[in-house]
Amino acid sequence: MTLSSTLPNSPASPEESNPVLHIWGGAPLSGHVTISGAKNSALVIMAGALLCPQECRIRNVPSLVDVTRMGEILASLGVKLQQQADCLNIDASHISQSKAPYELVSQLRASFFVIGPLLARLGVARIPLPGGCAIGARPVDLHVRGLQAMGADVQIDHGMVYANIRGTSNRLQGARIYLDYPSVGATETLMMAATLADGETIIENAAQEPEVVDLANFCRAMGAKIRGAGTNTIIISGVPSLHSTDYSIIPDRVEAGTFLVAGAITHSEISLSPVLPNHLAAVIAKLQAIGVQVLSEGPNRLRVVSTHRHIATDIETLPYPGFPTDMQAQFMALLTLSEGDSVITETVFENRLRHVAELSRMGADIRVKGNHAIIRGVPVLSGAPVVATDLRASAALVLAGLAAHGKTIIQGLHHLDRGYENLDTKLKKLGARIQRVYGNAETDELLAPTKVG
Ligand code: UD1
């Protein structure tokens, strides 16, 4: 079976290309939800498989549009992929291309991360600049400077990054690299490149996100020598080559966090597994500060219990272990209904408050000043037609819709489908009245609650 035959495909018809989500708010949730594998781990580990001249098997891969796109990029480089359920085989024994196509890279910023493994494996890589995206300009200067420190010549011309190893050596050289900012992507690019370099690489002020640790563990399973992943200093001793492995990726902490907020905002009680609670420490602490109970039910299972009205709190997004920017929009939805004034400060991305306008359409009271959002809690949100502006913003609108009075209709689901595996189906199983609608299908009857309160 090929990758494209089992992962989400491009929609077949014009109607299917623009589905909307109808949510009839106010239904309590109950039951258990299964958390999928981490999107951000899957994407970078797929890129990391380029380092290996033998077939690798990756398990717990979520079925997402972004994963399909990354698969298409690898396929365009000559890599063979096979997918069966959540198990993905990647055979990069023959890489026939060092150039990634612009049409694909421009759709998925994470695909730029192939530059590190390609350069390490082939000594040359040509990757289009990914460009900005909905949440900010997102430059790649830290990736480029690190690769240069490791002996790569990197030129940027007409939107294309041309990288090749300097001199006659066919290996990158170990180097000491200080990152001006603990960028997740730059840490991952440089860690992958360093696995096959000649000598030792030290990455200082490295990102400490769990997905960085997951990538390090995957590389170590292939024979890489990496220490310190998960701290701010990562030391990689280069080896001449890596070998095949079978690796299972971690559960998605952002999906888990989103379901915790779903339980909270609907004043429900739901359980989720598998989760790694340590990865959710900042999110759990904020839920508790708001008045939501998060209980541990064994090592990989959490229960969220929300019985009282929530109280306001302040949140500042930060690199891990700080509060994740990928949970900011979902918490904003929750705080719109909490008693008192909350301030959310977004420090990681410069344009990640676009969901404010959409939440305001639903009756939220939010003012934006620079990178601060001041949220004055309101007693109710009201359902409205809204547009998702980016991946996590779309999740925030779903959450607001679950709690709002009346019907919310969300457009822009291509954002949601990039990063959440079957979110609407999972919510429906928990009792949400939610329906994906193609074309002009009428769903009011389907969704209408038996009693409208
Ligand atoms: C990754 C995650 C994304 C998450 C983000 C922060 C993936 C596929 N995506 O994105 O979901 O929101 O981490 O946790 O893993 N920056 C530079 N120069 C660079 C690189 C980054 O200035 O060379 C800036 C960015 O513009 C941004 C900040 O650093 O303002 C953080 O970016 P980074 O940590 O690199 O995020 P990503 O790896 O792109």
pLDDT at 380 over 80: yes
Can you tell me which atom of ligand 1 is nearest the CA of 324?
14
Q: Tell me, what's the pLDDT at 440?
A: 60
Average pLDDT over residues 329-352: 95
Alpha carbon of 90 to ligand 1 centroid (Å): 25
Work out the percent of the chain whose per-residue pLDDT is above 70.
92
b/e 134-151 (16+ beta carbons within 10 angstroms → b)? bbeebebebbbbbbebbb
Band (pLDDT 50/70/90 cuts) for residue 106 is confident
Alpha helices for 174-252 (secondary structure H):
184-195, 210-221
Average pLDDT over residues 225-252: 98
pLDDT at 427 over 80: yes
pLDDT at 449 over 60: no
Handedness of CA 380, 384, 389, 391 (dihedral sign): positive
pLDDT at 256 over 70: yes
Whole-number Å distance between alpha carbons of 451 and 453: 6
Average pLDDT over residues 91-101: 92
pLDDT digits (tens, 9 = 90+) for 25-55: 999 999 999 999 999 999 999 999 999 999 9
Alpha carbon of 129 to ligand 1 centroid (Å): 14
Alpha carbon of 324 to ligand 1 centroid (Å): 11
Q: Which residues contact 72 (CB under 8 A, 6 or more apart)?
A: 3, 4, 104
Burial class (CB in 10 A: 0-12, 13-18, 19+), 218: buried
**Residue extents of the structural domains in the chain:** 3-36+251-446, 39-248
Nearest CA to ligand 1 atom 12: 326
DSSP-assigned letter for residue 209: -
Average pLDDT over residues 274-295: 98
CB 137 within 8 A of CB 162: no
Whole-number Å distance between alpha carbons of 344 and 143: 29
CA triple 69-246-75, angle to 5 deg:
25
Which has the closest alpha carbon to 115: 89, 87, 152, 71? 152
CA triple 228-230-235, angle to 5 deg:
25
Mean pLDDT, the chain, whole residue set:
92
Band (pLDDT 50/70/90 cuts) for residue 90 is very high
Pocket test for ligand 1, best of 40, 107, 156, 184 (most atoms within 8 A of CB): 184
Nearest CA to ligand 1 atom 31: 183
Band (pLDDT 50/70/90 cuts) for residue 16 is low
Q: Tell me, what's the pLDDT at 109?
A: 86
Can you tell me which atom of ligand 1 is nearest the CA of 138?
26
Nearest CA to ligand 1 atom 37: 185
CB 39 within 8 A of CB 77: no
Q: How many residues does the chain have?
A: 453
| More confidently predicted of 168 and 203 | 203
Can you tell me which atom of ligand 1 is nearest the CA of 182?
34
Q: Say if strands 385-387 and 246-248 run parallel, antiparallel, or are unpaired.
A: unpaired
Band (pLDDT 50/70/90 cuts) for residue 163 is very high
Query: Helix or strand or coil: residue 417?
Result: helix
Q: Tell me, what's the pLDDT at 133?
A: 59
What CATH number was assigned to the domain covering residues 3-36+251-446?
A: 3.65.10.10
Q: Say if strands 433-437 and 20-24 run parallel, antiparallel, or are unpaired.
A: antiparallel
Q: Tell me, what's the pLDDT at 184?
A: 97
DSSP-assigned letter for residue 8: P
Average pLDDT over residues 324-336: 97
CB 422 within 8 A of CB 35: no
Catalytic, out of 52, 56, 87, 133: 133
pLDDT at 448 over 50: no
Active site residue 56: no
CB 436 within 8 A of CB 18: no
Which residues have C-beta atoms less than 6 Å from ligand 1?
A: 40, 43, 109-110, 136, 138-143, 181, 183-186, 207, 211, 325-326, 348-349
Pocket test for ligand 1, best of 183, 279, 418 (most atoms within 8 A of CB): 183
Q: Tell me, what's the pLDDT at 295?
A: 97
Q: Tell me, what's the pLDDT at 451?
A: 37
Is the domain covering 39-248 a CATH 3.40.50.12780 domain?
no
Whole-number Å distance between alpha carbons of 105 and 284: 34
pLDDT digits (tens, 9 = 90+) for 287-322: 999 999 999 998 999 999 998 889 999 999 999 999
Cα 206 to chain centroid, rounded: 19
